[in-house]
Structure 1
Amino acid sequence: MTGDERQPRPRRLSTWTTRRWLRVGVAASLVVLALLGVAGALVMGRTQSISNNLTDVRSPSLSTAFRLETALVNQETGIRGYGLTGIPDFLGPYRQGLVDQKAHARSLEELLHGDRARLDDLKAVREAVDRWQEKIARPIAAAPPGSPPSLAAEQVAGGKAAFDDIRAALESQQERLREDRVQARADLQSTVTLRNWVFGTIALLMIALAALVFEGLRRGINRPLERLGADARIIAAGDFDHPITPTGPADLRRLSGEIDFMRRRLVRELAFTEEARLRLDAQAADLQRSNAELEQFAYVASHDLQEPLRKVSSFTQLLRRRYGGQLDERADQYIDFAVDGANRMQTLISDLLNFSRVGRVHNAHQSIDLDTVLEETLAALSVAVEETGATITHDPLPDLVADPSQMVMLWQNLIGNAVKFRRPGETPRIHITAAREAGLWRFTVTDNGIGIPPEYAEKIFVIFQRLHTKDTYSGSGIGLAMCKKIVEFHGGTITVDPEYRNGTRMTFTLAPEPSQSPLPSALPEATRANAEAAR
């Protein structure tokens, strides 16, 4: 025996799917039901046939035979009375009996159509009637009325024997018709009994078939699904190593296998996620240490670095006031460079501190009126506004839940830029709008200034990124970066409208109740590089 022959062959039924089992089960059930229906129809047809034969043939035939006998008796009575008395009134029943005889004989012949034996009985009755009428009835009926002749009296006396033949034929006919009716009733009763047994058997078979189908569904579908559900609940409870055992038809086994594959995949993903979580915890710890170092740096920058910087600035300014003009022109220029550099460094450190405090120090969210915030901002910018003659208009602004200090810095930078970057010889015109849009407030600050080229629409929000030299427009290059950080901290976005050509239109959104998740204050490598370039 070869190795292939020793291997167990998979059972053919084990490859059947639920759909195939259902198709086979439904087909078998339909075949059984069809056979039962045919059997029931045959029994019902047999019962109906016997019932119709009894009610439409046998019982009416016997009743018609009785009425035929009555018609013949009426004929015999009328003939005997007329023969004995010669009174014409006795011929009335005779003549009516003839009419009834013909009608009843014809009805009986129609009822017994196809029954040779009963038609023979009817024929015997007719022959006996014909003999009696020929020998007795017609001659007596043909005799003139009045006193009966002696011949008529003799015929009446002899007619009794001839009519007894008719009676015997009628009794024989009626007896057989009675036997046929009794037999039909017996057949009907037996057929009804058979029908009851057949339909009882059909009911039992249908119950057995329903029970078989139910048990097949329970074993083939419900039980595997219950087992699969139990395994899934165990896994959902946290036991991810619990295997799922495939059971049931082929498609349910495939489903179980796919779910078990998904379980194994989830186990691997969970292991990877746990490893990633541990790495994130380590990175969070590193970030926390880095933030602590940044806090220390901010403290040093706000105190220790500014103190010597103020000394350098103060003494270089003192040097310029006392010795300005006493040295050569180049020395005065060097002193001016030193004073300007110290002032710019002080401004840069102050702006960096303000930038780092967004989301870290300034994080006191409360309900504020933006109209009031805008008035405070315009009051702080009143000198620049008066010098340039700027016109600032705005729509009604909403109330928001935000940090008041950050909102002041936001408006101050946006409006300050609009005033600063004006066209030469043209009065600045600034308009502010606010509109509710998709659960957010969308604001626009539109001016008639020099504008921003579309290719710089993203770069202007990078810290220290400048489009002009410091000699043309003053500033540290942090203002719009700080605006971006403030807007994003309040759950919004800020962009430059690239389609606006008559100046600059800044568009930003703010959430009515922004999430208060502080943004990291660490400067990225690109920011540090920009800082070095600015120096």
Structure 2
Amino acid sequence: MTGNTKPPRTRWFSTWTTRRWLRVGAAVSLAVLALLGTTGAWVLARSASISSDLVDVRSPALAQAIRLESALLNQETGIRGYGLTGSREFITPYEDGLAKQKAVVTELSGLLRDDPAGLDDLEAVQDATATWQERIARPITAAPGGSPSPLATQRAAEGKQTFDEVRAAVSRQQERLRSEVVRVKGDLKATMALRNGVFSAIAALMVLLTAFVFEGLRRGINRPLEQLGTDARIIAGGDFDHPIAPTGPADLRRLSSEIDFMRRRLVRELAFSEESRQRLDAQAANLQRSNAELEQFAYVASHDLQEPLRKVSSFTQLLQRRYGGQLDDRADQYIDFAVDGANRMQTLINDLLEFSRVGRVNHTHQSIDLDKVLERTLSGLSVAIEETDATITHDPLPTLVADPTQMGMLWQNLIGNAVKFRRPDETPKIHVTAAREDDLWRFTVTDNGIGIAPEYADKVFVIFQRLHTKDVYSGSGIGLAMCKKVVEFHGGTISVDTAYQEGTRITFTLAPEPPENPGPSTLPEAIRSGAERSG
């Protein structure tokens, strides 16, 4: 009995794939839309053709016919006035009318080139006008001026008759053009009504087609997708062992199976990634601890170097004072080298300590007036400024929330460098600007010094990077690296404007408020980077 049981019949639409549904729907939709589109295109083309004829031909032709009438009336007025008075001033309207008539006839001939009846009307007007001009206008204008023309009196009746014929020809022309405008407007109105009807039918058919497609998609695709979405939400809720049941068209059932396979694989990958995450956390903790130890080592080493260095410096200076001049010149030179090396080493260690403190100590962010900070900086540099006769100007500077000590270090290094790296034959001129750009303040420090070559625009911000020997310009090579660290700690960037060729222009930005996660480079990273680039 069981062996004769037939499997349940499958509904015909359940055997269709999504692709088949879409192909059938797209084919029907395209056929309907092609028919509607063809009809709509014909109606639009018809409307455009009639509208173009009205706007580009009929209406301009009527306007030109009216201008032609005006030109002819000006000629008649001028001839009549000249014939009655003999005054040459009446010749001007006549000549202007002739010129205007020629231009209008040329324009009308172009507009009516596809209208034989219109060209016939224009020819009739020209013939009547030519008769009047030959019989009346030209003979009268040929008569000497100064007194009324006898010819005007003799041909008064003929002149009236011939110009009436001109008027009649112009009237027939304008009447016909007006009737053409009315006719074309009527055609345009009828075509627009047809267009509205066609597009209303198109809209109605598109609504029906949309409803049909929507219902087909809902029955054939939406329900299986809802089931698939329900299973996916259960899995997303944390039940990764929940299976996905294949339902719907054949391709959706295949998709469900593939997603279920992906679920099983993700379960395996999740276990592996959790193990990897734990290893990465351990490595990150070790790296952070190593970085902190390196920074502490550099800080402590710099402090520990101070005591023996002070002893070396003290004794070499004592040796210089007590025995200077008592030994030979080479010995004095060696002593000078030792004193200079000890002093430069002490300066280098102090600068290195200041560099290490940026971002690690002095986190006292408060509202500070950069104008006052710059004034204090200039006061500290007063000796160097007076010795070089430097001129320092600045725009009004803003008030920011920042670390006042670090802001002082920033201005100290930037202004100090601008004064130090001057041209031998020029007085230093330094200008500071500030402008708001979106959410940041942009500052520039511009000088007329020796400048920085474009190929060194990035290197100058690396610690210990020097472009000149200590014999030419003193310094440790830490100043601009410290400026970079201060600026980055306050949420900004710093660079050299390589487009400026008259000296050096340093551009940097600062945030009005301190960033939540300031990102200056750490001391060990900076030291390693400087060693790699300079070594």
TM-score category (smaller protein):
0.5 to 0.7
Task: Supply the distance in 1 between the matched residues of 2:376 and 2:249 (Cα, whole angstroms).
Answer: 76
Counterpart residue type for residue 328 of structure 2: D
Larger Rg: 1 or 2? 1
Distance 2:343 2:431 in 1: 33
TM alignment of 1:356-505, pairs within 5 A: 356-505=356-505
1:397 partner SS: coil
Q: CA deviation at 1:448?
A: 0.4
d(CA) in 2 for partners of 1:421, 1:227: 74
Task: Indicate the SS of the match to 2:401.
Answer: strand
Q: CA deviation at 1:392?
A: 0.8
Aligned to 2:393, what secondary structure does the other structure show? strand
Q: Name the counterpart of 1:522.
A: 524
For the residues of structure 1 that align with 2:382 and 2:265, how far apart are their CA atoms?
65
Matched position secondary structure for 2:523 = coil
Alpha carbons of structure 1 residues 272 and 301: separation in structure 2 relative to 1, 3 Å = same
Query: What pairs up with 1:253-264 in 2 under 5 angstroms?
Result: 253=253, 255-256=255-256
Q: 1:409 to 1:25 in 2, by over 3 A?
A: closer
Q: d(CA) in 1 for partners of 2:437 and 2:27?
A: 61
Matches within 5 A, 1:86-485: 220-240=220-240, 242-253=242-253, 255-256=255-256, 274=274, 277-485=277-485
SS in 2 for 1:321: helix
2:13 and 2:220 in contact (8 A); partners too: no
Residue type of the partner of 1:232? A
The answer on whether the counterparts of 2:491 and 2:511 sit within 8 Å (CA) in structure 1 is yes
* Counterparts in 2 of 1:513 and 1:319: CA distance versus 1, 3 Å: same
Instruction: Specify whether residues 339 and 279 from structure 1 end up closer, same or farther in structure 2 by C-alpha distance, changes over 3 A only.
Output: farther
Counterpart of 1:522 in structure 2: which amino acid?
P
In 2, Cα distance between equivalents of 1:410 and 1:26: 68
How far did 1:276 drift? 5.2
Q: Which runs of 5+ in 1 are unaligned?
A: 1-9, 29-212
Amino acid at match of 1:366: Q
Which amino acid is 1:464 matched to? F
Partner of 1:69: none
Do 2:451 and 2:501's aligned partners in 1 also have CA atoms closer than 8 Å? yes
Give the number of aligned pairs.
340
SS at match of 2:431: strand
Structure 1 residues 341 and 268: CA distance shift in structure 2, 3 A: farther
TM-score (norm: length of structure 2): 0.57
CA contact 2:299–2:353 (8 Å) conserved in 1: no
Deviation readout 1:278-305 (Å, 9 max, x if unpaired)? 3442233223322442354245234322
**CA-CA distance at 1:223 after TM superposition:** 3.4
* Equivalent-residue separation in structure 1 for 2:505 and 2:396 (angstroms): 18
User: Taking structure 1 as the reference length, what is the TM-score of the superposition?
Assistant: 0.57
SS of the residue corresponding to residue 492 of structure 1 reads coil
Query: For the structure 1 residues 217 and 466, does the alpha-carbon distance in structure 2 shift closer, same or farther, using more than 3 Å as the test?
Result: closer
Task: Indicate the SS of the match to 2:368.
Answer: strand
2:110 corresponding residue in structure 1? none
Cα distance in 1 for partners of 2:334, 2:255 equals 83
Q: What is the RMSD of the two structures over their aligned residues, measured on CA atoms?
A: 3.4
Rate the CA distance shift 1:295–1:498 in 2: closer, same or farther, 3 A.
closer
Deviation at 1:490, TM superposition (A): 1.5
Distance in 1 separating the partners of 2:27 and 2:505: 75
Distance 1:469 1:321 in 2: 27
For residue 522 of structure 1, give the secondary structure of its aligned residue in structure 2: helix
Change in Cα spacing, 1:527 to 1:27, as seen in structure 2 (3 Å) is: closer
Greater Cα shift, 367-376 or 444-453: 367-376
Cα 1:384/1:259, change in 2 over 3 Å: farther
One-letter amino acid matched to 1:282: A
Alpha carbons 1:363, 1:516 under 8 Å: kept? no
2:206 — aligned with what? none
Calculate percent identity across the aligned residue pairs: 81
Cα distance change on mapping 1:284 and 1:217 into 2, 3 Å: closer
Shift of 1:225: 2.2
Distance in 1 between residues matched to 2:484 and 2:513, nearest whole Å: 18
The question of whether the paired residues in 2 share the 8 Å contact of 1:431 and 1:447 is answered with: yes
